[in-house]
Amino acid sequence: MAGTDRSRQSDETRIEYQQPVIVLVEPQLGENIGAAARAMLNFGLTEMRIVNPRDGWPNYQALNTSSGAESVLHDATIFDNFDDAIADLTYLVATTARVRDMGKPVETPHGAAARLRAVCARGERCGVLFGRERSGLDNDQVARADSLLIVPTNPGYSSINIAQAVLLMGYEWFQSGDGAADHLTEVTRKGARPASKEELLNFHLHLEEELDACGFLRPPEKRPNMVRNIRNIFSRNNLTDQEVRTLRGIIVGLTKFKRRD
């Protein structure tokens, strides 16, 4: 379907409000980046972050495929590593083609859009992760997310590229509207804000350093999976910045007490 009336702006682009960031992790083809930008702007999403694009940046294939959505690409932020791209976000949805053994909530695009509306309504920064064309997101990247997004498809053929996935998520976001989160009940904690991904990562690294020191993360070949499982325990709890500081204080207290002995 084609057709854009540039004399009109949708309510989505006129009204200033929080919206999810679209994060493309190590995309391989410029054409897919451009098509993703086009899908975003179709549904009022304008903030794209790109982690380590294979063919560098700027990418003229992306511009050629964006079909009028060049503004999204010109404003896109490029990151050399994944952690920096998500550091300021407090809620992350990871797209995946399969359920991973991580004990995370699994949602359809419809459910994820409603959840993201609720998060944005609280003034938080949130994002949706889209992985590489060939292999998707790796387990460590998925472990950093708060929930998983899986698109129900024909079991006999479930291949969806990045641009298609962005289009589906953008459509559901646009359809959900500003009042879609009214039915969601959220717990608020006075005087606290949700912990950012950077704060959570620093806590995880602090905890893992002490677990290495006491010999808990052994044997070495099992360490990566143990670390992911531990991180998942905390990512399911929507920790606030104060709770993260408290947990780090507990670690310091326990390790100091042990060292005195």
**Cis check: omega of the bond before 219, within 30 degrees of 0:** yes
Q: How does pLDDT run across 67-115, given as a tens digit for each residue?
A: 889 999 999 999 999 999 999 999 999 999 877 777 889 999 999 999 9
Tell me the mean pLDDT in the region 17-36.
Answer: 93
Q: How does pLDDT run across 30-49, given as a tens digit for each residue?
A: 999 999 999 999 999 999 99
Any domain includes 8: no
Amino acid in position 28: Q
Same domain, 68 and 111: yes
- Say what the pLDDT of residue 181 is: 43
CATH number of the domain residue 207 falls in = 1.10.8
Tell me the mean pLDDT in the region 177-186.
Answer: 46
Same domain, 121 and 36: yes
User: What is the rounded CA–CA span in Å between residue 148 and residue 101?
Assistant: 11
Same domain, 44 and 95: yes
Full domain range(s) for residue 244: 197-260
Instruction: List residues bridging with 129 in a β-sheet.
Output: 23, 94
**36 closest CA partner among 174, 169, 172, 176:** 169
Q: Two tokens at 161?
A: 């590229």
Same domain, 209 and 157: no
- Say what the pLDDT of residue 184 is: 39
User: What is the rounded CA–CA span in Å between residue 133 and residue 238?
Assistant: 30
Same domain, 229 and 154: no
Q: How does pLDDT run across 189-228, given as a tens digit for each residue?
A: 556 788 999 999 999 999 999 999 999 999 999 999 999 9
Residue written as token pair 């399969």 = 98
Residue written as token pair 């991904």 = 197
For the chain, the domain total comes to 2
User: Which contiguous run of DSSP H or E holds residue 80?
Assistant: none
- Bridge-based pairing of strands 147-149 and 126-130 is unpaired
When pLDDT is cut at 50, 70 and 90, the band that residue 17 belongs to is: low
Any domain includes 220: yes
Number of Cβ within 10 Å of residue 23's Cβ equals 27
Same domain, 59 and 112: yes
Side-chain half-sphere CA neighbours of 28 within 13 A = 9
User: What is the rounded CA–CA span in Å between residue 64 and residue 61?
Assistant: 5
Any domain includes 191: no
Tell me the mean pLDDT in the region 162-174.
Answer: 95
